Amino acid sequence: MYEPDTAAILPGDVLNSASTDDEVSPSDSFDNNEEVHARTSSSLRPPFSCPLPVSVEPVLFLSMFSLALQAPLSTQYLWGRISEDLGYNGSKRSECSNSSVLPDPLLKEVETLTAHWNMYISLGGFSLGLLVVPLLGSWSDLAGRRPVLIIPNLGMALQAVVYLVVMYLKLPVAYFLLGRLLSGLSGDFNGILAGCFAYVADTSDRQSRTFRVAVLEACLGLSGMLASIIGGQWRRAQGYINPFWLVLATNLASALYAYLFVRESVLPDPSAKLLTTRHHKAIWHLFSTGGSTNEAGGGFHRCKLWMYMLCFFLVVTVHSGCRELFVLYELSSPLCWGPALIGYGSAALHLAYLSSLLGLKIMQCCLEDSWVAIVGLASNIIGLVVFSVADTTQLMFTGYGLCFLFMASTPVIRSKLSKLVGLSEQGALFACVACVETLCYLVGSSLFNSLYPATLHFMKGFPFLFAAIILFIPAGMIGTLQCLDQRRKHRGFTAS
């Protein structure tokens, strides 16, 4: 087990982040930190120190900005290229149109091919990510976090280069898949997610960890909102190529920031190898035994790990699935929103990341983290119920307003998972969480995009109602686990 660099972590945080108990021996903490200080060299420090009170937040912000800017642009480029290849030069028709003209059969073919290529590209990156991200995450527990922050950003930059070459030379769109595979081989955005959340787990104590994780998730929302606004306007003004140069520059800037300013939080082992089955075995050991901290918890400890992971899967699947339906729901009747209203709705959804961060900080003053998560889920459920019956613009924005705490649950679940494993297992854990998150996007997209057309004949907003019902499951599980924990603590207190 390798201890973190004392330059990045305050005294006493080492055992706090590794232990599942709230009490740590002060003497043990000081002894461990003295040992770490003796083994730490100046080579672990970055070339420069950042004057701002941030660590990996800019890395995640820039990487997410790049991803959120790239994703819609690449889909629109695929649409344009496929339309050009098939000779289709029409525009998409809306349900709100009064035109009685029969739809162009080429339109359906363009939509189908675009959807298929999007699926091929996503599956290509996801399949490689399932193999590479667990390797990188577990390897970072030994080799350090900084490489996992730098390598995936360089891979995403390489993907942007391939996309730019395709656009300049008008190569077949199949080369987009090549760029996605190259990014997947480097860990892709999921590798950055795993590295950033593991870094925060290394450098925070048990009391502040949930809020630190929430700050990272707020970075995701804020950067996504800015990228959505900038990307749409820029594409309309100058086309696809110039925005993709910003994608490339942003990924390189993120990698450069990680190299120059991020302090290492794990003492690297020079002998640590990346390409070895040891890393996958470490992940299997983590979930089959409950990790290195599962000494007194037994089966209950391992059960909590699996149950919180299931809660995370359900919540993120609902979030990702519903997010894909919002635009489709708003474009069609009876709402018939235009680009401006759709932009405002997207902004309102992303602003909920910031309101959730503020709400979480306030609620932590009087509530346990588990109850904070349940309040966040309740906000999400109420908002989804309103979405399911929204037939006016006012009602739709009322739903967005009621979801102002909907992102308060995921940082709590990430923090709960982090506190269940040891310090030397944070990278492996968050690598698994990142892979599960990608799986959530695929499952959510497939499930809700299939459910929406299947239920149009009896209730257009049924997928949102279905999503609200699903969220009762993680709410019940989190509340049950919290009650069991309180009961166990009470029994331990009375026994002593």
Q: What's the number of CA atoms in the CB half-sphere (13 Å) around residue 257?
A: 21
More confident residue, 156 or 270: 156
User: Which of 222, 239, 264 marks a domain boundary?
Assistant: 264
Q: What pLDDT is attached to residue 417?
A: 93
Percentage, residues of the chain above pLDDT 70: 84
Q: How far is the CA of 413 from the CAs of 134, 211, 212, 313, 419, in angstroms?
A: 19, 12, 13, 10, 10
Q: Judge if 247 and 340 occupy the same domain.
A: no
Whether 13 maps to a domain, the answer reads no
Tell me the pLDDT band of 280, cut-offs 50, 70 and 90: confident
Q: Structural domain tally of the chain?
A: 2
Q: Judge if 258 and 301 occupy the same domain.
A: no
Q: Judge if 172 and 257 occupy the same domain.
A: yes
Q: What pLDDT is attached to residue 176?
A: 93
More confident residue, 165 or 118: 165
Q: Judge if 321 and 210 occupy the same domain.
A: no
Whether 28 maps to a domain, the answer reads no
Sign of the C-alpha dihedral computed for residues 414, 416, 420 and 423 taken in this order? positive
In terms of DSSP H, where are the helices of 262-338?
278-289, 298-331
Q: Judge if 87 and 166 occupy the same domain.
A: yes
Q: Judge if 80 and 197 occupy the same domain.
A: yes
Whether 206 maps to a domain, the answer reads yes
Distance CA 75, CA 232 (A): 12
Whether 24 maps to a domain, the answer reads no
Q: Judge if 72 and 217 occupy the same domain.
A: yes
- Are 173 and 78 in contact by the 8 Å Cβ rule? The answer is yes
Lowest mean pLDDT among 102-111, 140-149, 216-225, 394-403: 102-111
6 token code pair: 């004392």
Q: Judge if 218 and 356 occupy the same domain.
A: no
Q: How far is the CA of 408 from the CAs of 131, 365, 438, in angstroms?
A: 30, 14, 20
Q: What pLDDT is attached to residue 101?
A: 52
Distance CA 30, CA 251 (A): 39
**pLDDT, tens digit (0-9, with 9 covering 90-100), for 480-489:** 999 988 888 7
Residue 94 has pLDDT above 80, yes or no: no
Average pLDDT over residues 243-254: 95
Q: What pLDDT is attached to residue 291?
A: 64
Tell me the pLDDT band of 1, cut-offs 50, 70 and 90: very low
Whether 202 maps to a domain, the answer reads yes
Whether 141 maps to a domain, the answer reads yes
**pLDDT, tens digit (0-9, with 9 covering 90-100), for 101-111:** 555 677 778 87
Domain range for 164 is: 50-91+104-264
Looking up residue 396, the CATH number of its domain turns out to be 1.20.1250.20
Backbone angles phi, psi at 66, to 5 degrees: -60, -45
Tell me the pLDDT band of 294, cut-offs 50, 70 and 90: low
Residue 52 gets the label, from left (phi > 0), alpha (psi -120 to 50) or beta, of: beta
Most confident by average pLDDT, 289-303, 310-324, 414-428: 310-324
More confident residue, 445 or 5: 445
Say which residue the tokens 């489709």 belong to. Answer: 328
**Exposure pattern of 118-127 as b/e (b: 16+ CB <10 Å)?**
beebbebbbe
Q: Computed over its alpha carbons, how large is the radius of gyration of the chain?
A: 23
Whether 408 maps to a domain, the answer reads yes
Instruction: Classify burial at 465, counting beta carbons within 10 Å of its beta carbon; exposed 0-12, middle 13-18, buried 19 or more.
Output: middle
Q: What pLDDT is attached to residue 364?
A: 93
Q: Judge if 179 and 254 occupy the same domain.
A: yes
Average pLDDT over residues 2-28: 38
Q: Judge if 217 and 85 occupy the same domain.
A: yes
Q: What pLDDT is attached to residue 486?
A: 86
Q: What pLDDT is attached to residue 271?
A: 79
Tell me the pLDDT band of 248, cut-offs 50, 70 and 90: very high
Q: Judge if 315 and 412 occupy the same domain.
A: yes
Residue 416 has pLDDT above 60, yes or no: yes
Most confident by average pLDDT, 127-131, 347-351, 462-466: 462-466
Q: How much is the pTM?
A: 0.78
Tell me the pLDDT band of 150, cut-offs 50, 70 and 90: very high
Mean pLDDT estimate for the chain: 82
Whether 143 maps to a domain, the answer reads yes
Q: Judge if 241 and 319 occupy the same domain.
A: no
